[in-house]
Structure 1
Amino acid sequence: MRFVLAIVAFVVAAVMIVAGIAQRTVFAPPSHIQAAATVSGDPRYLMIDGAALNAHPGQQTLTVADAPQGAKPVVAYGRTADVKAWLGGQKYVAVDYQKATGALSTKTVTPKPTAGSGDDSGAAATPSPAPTPSATPTPSATAGGETTSAAGPNPAGSDLWLEEFDGDAAQVTRMNIPDDVSVIVATDGQKAAPSRVTVTWPVDSSTPWAFPLIIGGLILLVIGIALYLWGLYTHRRSRGPRRKSGPKMPKLPKAPKYKPTAMIESTPRGRRSTRRARVILPVALAGALALTGCTSGTDAATTPSKTATPLATEAPNAGQLPPAVTVPQLQRIVKRISESAAEADSKASADLAKVRFTGSALQLREANYAIRAKKTDESALPAIPASPIVLSLPQATDAWPRTVAAVIDSPKDAKGNAQAPIALTMVQQTPRDNYQVEYAISLEPKAKVPNLAPASIGSAVVPPDSKLLALAPQKVSAAYGDILMNGDKSQYASLFNAEGDTLRTQVGSDWKAKQKAAVPATASLDFTTGPGEGTDVAMATNDSGAIVWTHLQESQVLKVVEAGAEVSAGATAAALSGVATSKTGIQSDFGYQLAFYVPPAGSNAKITLLGFAQGMVSAKQLP
């Protein structure tokens, strides 16, 4: 019976071990699902919808191939509405996933023309493009008989993308994006996009029963060996001599003892030899099965790839507009602005400054470059730090223009002294434009920024004529200019907080009075204020107030009032006007970039200056 049980144990153990090994090898499930598509023609852009990328659960791996010779592929992703707005009137190929066939499908999309949209300018967000029935991009004939699509804008380096990869990093990209985000694939807009697209999703290829089956089979094999050895031991004892009871037989005469020869003695006895052979076979079988059972199955080889930053987005409530940028997107934008500003400042190039600056911020930098070209001891404007961003305030919108504010900590200066944080107000005019700095100011030492909406939600832009604030945004500049002229006698003095306002101390009414007193009797000095070149920007705070960015321009007119007299322009004004002295007079214009907190209407709080940037922006000789 023990031999029967041992044989059964051997058979069951072998079946379990083989089944466990088969689950890891022969019957192992696939490690991934793959869908591919080849795009015919030479379209400049491919767009893969987020729904297609989420056709299967798990992280998506996008592989692009077959780009034109010498062209670097570009893979970027952004909100689907933003991608379509960037494409504007450009034709593209939409890549979708067909659940019935498990393959990718392609179709050409021709956006509907919109009035004033401007195909190549991307001046405004266009409606969602409508697909056409054609399966391939509409080609245009060339002189050589080949078919090509019209060249378009280059998507590389756009601030609109949540993340971007180019060159080798774009060939294989791992990402995990939601349904409302789409991927754009292109090169430089001049050459065709890569024509081969493959999307791979991971599959749970785990075999939870493989290891228990192998281990269980090995245990059962050991039990079978034990039963087999026990059966052999019992069988050997049962074949010994048996004595019968009864009368004793008479002793027989002793026969001579038989001595076996050496040859016979060396031959193993049959029963023990059989036992050794029977024991060796199961042990060898157990070792072979154990070694085989420990061999793990091989997984599909993984291709080295670039992994995208995990995209953490909070689903907005119904009817809630998304923020203009995400925090990682803003960090990348600020870094690009910092690098561009550093290059422009180092070369004192107004053309380079125009890449990332506009309005009053550009005006102040252009003037500073012109002054430094003729006045070597003139200080440069504060550098734009790249990080860390301590405050992010994007506008909640899906249209253009878009506004984003950020506060960046400044590093210590060469002497180890702390510097004021820099607050940037950036505007993106169209989907294809990058963000440009409209205001770059240094915060006041005692500035207290009110509670703002989190970056994941964004803030609303307040209309310039809003009556829900203590003072409409478009009136703040003129009111503050009146305070700088008249001090506490200004009609607006009761609305503004004088505590912590260092600009009022530097160029306020008391300073102006001293400047006038220092002018000789042969000349006169007058000050006038007016709105500057900047656009008023106001973004709502959580207490129904607003942060208002505005620009004030102040003119200082030093005029000769006695014939034959002369006035000195000063080194800074001379650098801008080209005139050191004048017999008529000098007009110097100063630009003030200002940031205020304006409380809501009916509040007892006062308007507070949060920061400013100021400097001479122009000078000329009076006629």
Structure 2
Amino acid sequence: MQSVDFLLARRNVCQKQTDNSKYPRQRIQLRHRTMTMRNGPVQRRLSLAAPLLVIVIGLLVLALGIAQRTIWQPPADITAEVDVSSVSAGQNAPLAVIESKALNQRPGPVKVNVQGSGSLQVVQGRSDDVDAWVGQTPHLKVASASDNFSSLNASFVGGAGATANPAGSDLWTNEQRGSGSLDYEWNAPGSGDWSLLVASDGKASAAQKISLTVPNDTSTPWAVPLIVFGSVLILLGLLYLIFGRGKGKKDGGSGRRAASAAAVVLLAALALSQAPAQRAEADDSATPSAPGSSESSSASASASAEPDSLAASVVTDGQFTRILDSVVKTVANGDAAKDANLLPSRIADPALQLRTGNYKIRSVVADYQANEPIADKLLTRIVSTNRAWPRSLVAVTQGPANVVPQLLTLVQATPRDNYKLTATARLLPGQSLPEVNTNGAAIVAADKKGTGQKTPAEALAALGDRLTNPDGAAKDSFAASQGFKYLDEVAKFQADTVAGSPQATIVFKHDPQPKSIVAFETADGGTLVFGTFTFTQDGTPKGEGDKLSVGDNAAAFTSGKDTLKGYVLTFDEQAVFYIPKAGPSAPMTMLAAERGLTTAAFK
């Protein structure tokens, strides 16, 4: 019985062992399922953390980009200023010069603000003109601004020069006036260096405070990239949250792959944000050793500097028009009143002598011919590039009252003088001016030959000899052109005067005035010369008791018509002529002339 029970128990144990060996895979799967159920919450938390981290980083990057465009964006303008009293140290500075370097230190327009007590003025001119006008007068010099454009570098320049009011000078291209505070917007009017001159009345302190406001560099090159990259990161995180979780239930590794992809995108964004800086460093280091780049820079500098290396014309179009208008109005006022006292602001000798004499004669001789009016209708002009003083301009004008064009010579004697009309000459019939660079003619000095056959002084002396002695050594020095008729007319006048005064010895002289010479180089290499003669007619009785008489026009100066001792009549005589280019001998050509009685006296 016991053996039977033992055998049954033995069989049951073997059967259980057999059952366990038949289902090992089911047991492993059950064990894995149990572990997966335990680890599921952890994996879900990890799958949420990765996209959320990407979204947070994206928000931070986006915020940085927006901040660069808002709270961190630089101001639109920056201002540099100087307190004049802190620089002048109690010394009076009636003038303040804002130099070209300060005005051009930053690109764009410059807003100039000047503060002071009483009247204020700001004038604009070429830098060399401003410096020449200021001269040795004590002044404040604003040379530049600090590197960050927060203050102006200024200094006081002492001197013993006379003070003066700069208002109305022909040197300025623009003027603006105010009281207490003056705002002036400066834009470079052209190539070359330009400066501003600040003053009150030329005696009082120029200003108390000067400031320059310029556009600031408000560029934010990283704002857009940061905004874009931040937005991309946020989008990637949201996409993963929406689409990545469902897949994660089936594939536990997809969450890790999404997190890895987000990290790659973030690293790429950071790499891109560093790339421009690296490129800039590479460019900076490469610049000195890049021959191609160096040659290009040098060529560019030469090209931009080339116009500045050429001397600028002494006046702009606007200045020329303003000067001519002022001369025309001044002469018109003097002519209308027959008052020479109204002329000196715009007319100088010999033109002043000519009109003064004409007014005097007409005050006595009612039908004496007046000088032709100065017309404002400009036909052409000649503007020199000689920036030394005296400076010269020529205007060719013709109005309804002018039978032929007039050639007007305008001279500025010193920087503080305005241009004045010094000579007028009427173009002779059939003549025309040679071609000249109207906006940059080269001046030929009176004692320099240039490219012509003679110096202007030699040529003027030859013309004087030809006028004084028509049959002398200079007889063939001028061409037989339409202008030659003027020379014949002068010779005929002198011969007729001698023939009509048998009881008198009459001597004519045409003395050249070298200081009056203004000469320009022509396009063909010749020289165009403007000059003045003092033309005298000296009459002396041949015998004792012989009486000489003068006309009504001369009597306006002599207070009588008859003399037993003789007389001297003095004329101003203007001449314009052309000297051919050096080479085979060729005669000069007379182009324009004018003559008028300026005074007369008995011996």
TM norm. shorter chain > 0.5: yes
Tell me: CA distance 1:318–1:75, structure 2 relative to 1, closer, same or farther (3 Å): closer
1:510 aligns with 2:495: no
Match for residue 588 of structure 1 among 526, 545, 569 = 569
Question: Post-superposition shift, 1:496?
Answer: 0.7
Match for residue 482 of structure 2 among 469, 493, 500 = 500
User: What SS does structure 1 have at the residue aligned with 2:172?
Assistant: coil
1:154 aligns with 2:204: no
Tell me: CA distance 1:521–1:394, structure 2 relative to 1, closer, same or farther (3 Å): closer
Q: Which has the higher contact order (CA 8 A, sep 6+)?
A: 1
Alpha-carbon distance between aligned partners in 1 of 2:479 and 2:524, rounded to the nearest angstrom: 18
Native 8 Å contact 2:406 2:424 kept in 1:
no
1:427 aligns with 2:407: no
Native 8 Å contact 1:92 1:108 kept in 2:
yes
User: What SS does structure 1 have at the residue aligned with 2:315?
Assistant: coil
Hey, what does 1:439 align to over in structure 2? Answer: 423
Question: Post-superposition shift, 1:548?
Answer: 1.6
Native 8 Å contact 2:520 2:529 kept in 1:
yes
Counterparts of 1:175-186 in structure 2, within 5 Å, are 175-176=187-188, 180-186=193-199
Deviations 1:23-59 (A, max 9, x none): 9987776443332322115521111111111121112
Native 8 Å contact 1:481 1:552 kept in 2:
yes
Hey, what does 1:598 align to over in structure 2? Answer: 579
Structure with max Cα Rg: 2
Question: Post-superposition shift, 1:524?
Answer: 5.3
User: Which shifted more, 332-341 or 569-578?
Assistant: 332-341
Hey, what does 1:166 align to over in structure 2? Answer: 177
Counterparts of 1:392-471 in structure 2, within 5 Å, are 392-397=382-387, 399=388, 401-413=389-401, 418-428=403-413, 430-453=414-437, 455-456=439-440, 458-464=441-447, 466=449, 469-471=452-454
1:106 aligns with 2:167: no
Match for residue 618 of structure 1 among 580, 599, 602 = 599
Native 8 Å contact 2:80 2:149 kept in 1:
no
User: What SS does structure 1 have at the residue aligned with 2:350?
Assistant: helix
Question: Post-superposition shift, 1:197?
Answer: 1.7
1:336 aligns with 2:383: no
Tell me: CA distance 1:531–1:170, structure 2 relative to 1, closer, same or farther (3 Å): farther
| Paired residues, number | 487
Question: Post-superposition shift, 1:153?
Answer: 1.4
Question: Post-superposition shift, 1:187?
Answer: 1.3
Alpha-carbon distance between aligned partners in 2 of 1:161 and 1:443, rounded to the nearest angstrom: 32
Tell me: CA distance 1:190–1:346, structure 2 relative to 1, closer, same or farther (3 Å): farther
Hey, what does 1:38 align to over in structure 2? Answer: 83
Native 8 Å contact 1:481 1:530 kept in 2:
yes
User: What SS does structure 2 have at the residue aligned with 1:199?
Assistant: strand
Native 8 Å contact 1:529 1:552 kept in 2:
yes
Hey, what does 1:144 align to over in structure 2? Answer: none
1:81 aligns with 2:103: no
> AA paired with 2:466?
I
1:608 aligns with 2:593: no
Question: Post-superposition shift, 1:592?
Answer: 0.7
Alpha-carbon distance between aligned partners in 1 of 2:70 and 2:448, rounded to the nearest angstrom: 73
Match for residue 365 of structure 1 among 355, 373, 394 = 355
Alpha-carbon distance between aligned partners in 1 of 2:204 and 2:433, rounded to the nearest angstrom: 48
Alpha-carbon distance between aligned partners in 2 of 1:207 and 1:93, rounded to the nearest angstrom: 38
Question: Post-superposition shift, 1:505?
Answer: 5.9
Alpha-carbon distance between aligned partners in 1 of 2:305 and 2:149, rounded to the nearest angstrom: 31
Structure with more of its chain in helix, by fraction: 2
Native 8 Å contact 1:61 1:175 kept in 2:
no
Hey, what does 1:531 align to over in structure 2? Answer: 512
Hey, what does 2:49 align to over in structure 1? Answer: none
Tell me: CA distance 1:424–1:82, structure 2 relative to 1, closer, same or farther (3 Å): same
Question: Post-superposition shift, 1:501?
Answer: 1.4
Native 8 Å contact 2:79 2:212 kept in 1:
yes
> AA paired with 1:194?
A
Tell me: CA distance 1:481–1:43, structure 2 relative to 1, closer, same or farther (3 Å): closer
Native 8 Å contact 1:471 1:598 kept in 2:
yes
Counterparts of 1:300-379 in structure 2, within 5 Å, are 320-379=310-369
Identity %: 29
> AA paired with 1:441?
A
> AA paired with 1:202?
P
Tell me: CA distance 1:99–1:179, structure 2 relative to 1, closer, same or farther (3 Å): farther
Tell me: CA distance 1:75–1:460, structure 2 relative to 1, closer, same or farther (3 Å): same
User: What SS does structure 2 have at the residue aligned with 1:94?
Assistant: strand
TM-score w.r.t. length of structure 1: 0.65
Alpha-carbon distance between aligned partners in 1 of 2:110 and 2:373, rounded to the nearest angstrom: 40
